[in-house]
Structure formats: structure tokens, C-alpha cells
Amino acid sequence: MVRIGTLPMRLLALRYGADIVYTEELIDWKLLRSKRRLNGILNTIDYVDQTDGTIVFRTCIEEKERVVLQLGTSDAVRALTVAKMVENDVAGIDINMGCPKEFSVKGGMGVALLEQTDKAYKILHTLVVNLSIPVTCKIRIFETGDETLNVVKKLVSTGIKAIAIHGRTKNERPQHAVHTDIIRYVAERIPIPVIANGGSKEIEKYNDILKFKEMTGCTSVMLARAAEWNCSIFRKEGLLSMDTVIKEYLKIAVDYDNSPSNTKYCIQNILRELQETPRGRKFLECQTLDQICAIWDLGDYCVEKQSQYQKMGIKGRWQVTPDDLEPPIKKQKADGLCMKDVIQMKVCFIRD
């Protein structure tokens, strides 16, 4: 999910028992303006936005064989260009044809592709024949099993390795019941694995995952909100407490220099209504990673790790200057101003 499926949450899910993890949906244009960099301090591979120095996608060796990059796209050429960029850093590429949000639909992405099946076919087929890694897609159902099946058969004919099916239509939202019967209807009639999605309301513990899998007749289950609320849902041994999950998440966030805003957003989605408690309100006032960590008794750990990284020469977004970007931003000309007298400061425009 957007802003949730970043590296710390993906690693936490894998450590708790998830078999495969997905990135948040990354838009093709965003990746096209990024540059791949090896981060020797964090031992990560970073895709850095060349317009402002922000991290578009960060990954590491621990997840390499099990991370799928979910791509938002409406164009086969752009999709392939991006996929070739990341091909050696991920385990697979998934095309998002299930997002119903206005941003995606207006851009011809997400569920809009299900109304343009020729374009969807072209995107998937182009990737399948040109990549060395598996290609999959995620869709939403139509009103009937037969209508859904007809579209799925066309997508399957591209050679994709699996398809994830969210059991709601494009107009339905989480408060609506998931149509497990339609997922099952399709799963029983196609030759590739089907990944069932949309059951978070019914999934509160690990055994519920197995029940949802059996109910839908699928080979596996994809979790979004249930994992967002408590990532230890993947543990066969049972759920861990919210505080334990937050602490383990925070340690990974610190270790991989995750942005404070993204870290805060992920914890907000774990706390949910507990944001209104005294501790929750104190948390909401936090602006930095060490302030967040201090609430869960990890302040010293955060400060020490950040100090270590700074001594090693790590660059945060606030330390990026135009000359650091590739290619460097062209210097502006100023009438009547001698450019050699201009002082360039380490301040970067940050979009959150």
C-alpha cells in the first residue's frame, strides 16, 4: 500500500513469516527520473529522485529474492524501461490494475486498465517477453464471475506467472463485503496461481489467513490492511503486542535511515484509535526519528546509530545540493548579479 510498503515494513513482514512482499505502488514517471545508487553505508540499493534527492525505492540483499516491485503505469514502453532499470534488484514486477483512486484512474492506471484490456494486454506481454524475472498483475473483480473470468483469461494469455484478485469491484470499498465466490470461480478455471486479496476485515490472526485461502480456493493470500495494523499477523506462533511490533519496526527504520515522515505514517496506522491517548498525542507531536524512538525507549539507539552514519558520511535529504544530482541542475542566470558571489547552501526542496 502507498507509503506503507517501504523497506522497514517489508523486512518486518518477511521476518515475521511472509513469503513475498510488495513495494508500495511506484509510478513509472517517478522511477524514470531516478538514478540507481549503491549505498555503501546502509548496504542498500537506492533509487534517488534526481529532482530533489528523495529516495523513491530502497532495497537490500535480505529481500532481493522475495520483493516484488508494484508498478503504476499506463504505457508499455515506459513500463519496460522502468522494469529493465530494476530487473536485477527485485524478484518480480507486478502491474497494478486494482487501484480505484482518482489519481490512478485519471492517469489511465489501476482499474482504468481493466476498461482498456488491449492496453493492459500490451503492457503485460511486453514485460513478459523482455524480462528475465516473473511478471504478475493485480486486478479487481467485475460484477459477475463470468465477466471477471473473461478479462482474466486475456491477461493470463500474456504469459504472466500469477494474478492477484481483490474481491471487490472498482466502486466498492473496504466497508463492503469481499466476494470470495467470484475469486474462487476464477481460481478454479485458470491454469496459473491466483492470489486472494481483500480479506483483511475477516483476518485477525494467522489461522484466518488459511481460512481465507481455503474459502477462495487460491494458492496464496495477499494481506494489506491486516498486516499494516499488526505485521505479526504472518507469525504462525501468534500475534505479538502492538508495542513489540512498533519497537521492532522502529529498529529497522533506524537501521535503514527511513524518513521520519514515512516512519511516523506507518506507526500511525498501527496505533489507529490509540493516537487519541496521551502517549498517542505525544507521538503525533514528534517531528524527528529520535523523538519517535524515545517514546518507545529507543531514543539512545537512534541517536547512536545516526551519529555512526553521519561519521561515515551518510547524506540525508536536507544535505542535498543541486550539484549532487545527476545531471546537476543548471545554474540560473541573474541579471546584474555576479554568480561567483552567490552562496549555495545545503537545502533541498522536499515533497512529502
Q: What is the rounded CA–CA span in Å between residue 248 and residue 338?
A: 52
Secondary structure of residue 88 in the 3-state scheme: coil
Angle (nearest 5°) at CA 240 between 234 and 244: 120
Strand partners, 197: 166, 222
**Distance between terminal CA atoms of the chain?**
16
Please state, in angstroms and as integers, the Cα–Cα distance from residue 18 to each residue in 130, 189, 221, 251, following that order.
28, 27, 10, 19
Torsion angles phi and psi, residue 3, rounded to 5: 75, -5
Q: What is the rounded CA–CA span in Å between residue 167 and residue 183?
A: 6
**Cβ contact 44:60 at 8 Å:** yes
Q: What is the rounded CA–CA span in Å between residue 199 and residue 41?
A: 39
Secondary structure of residue 65 in the 3-state scheme: coil
Q: Is 99 a known active-site residue?
A: yes
Task: Output b/e per residue, 311-320; b: 16+ Cβ within 10 A.
Answer: eeeebeeeeb
The one catalytic residue among 60, 99, 266, 293: 99
Q: What is the rounded CA–CA span in Å between residue 135 and residue 80?
A: 11
Torsion angles phi and psi, residue 198, rounded to 5: 110, 10
Question: Which alpha helices (DSSP H) does 52-176 contain, by range?
Answer: 76-86, 102-106, 117-130, 145-156
List residues with catalytic annotation: 99
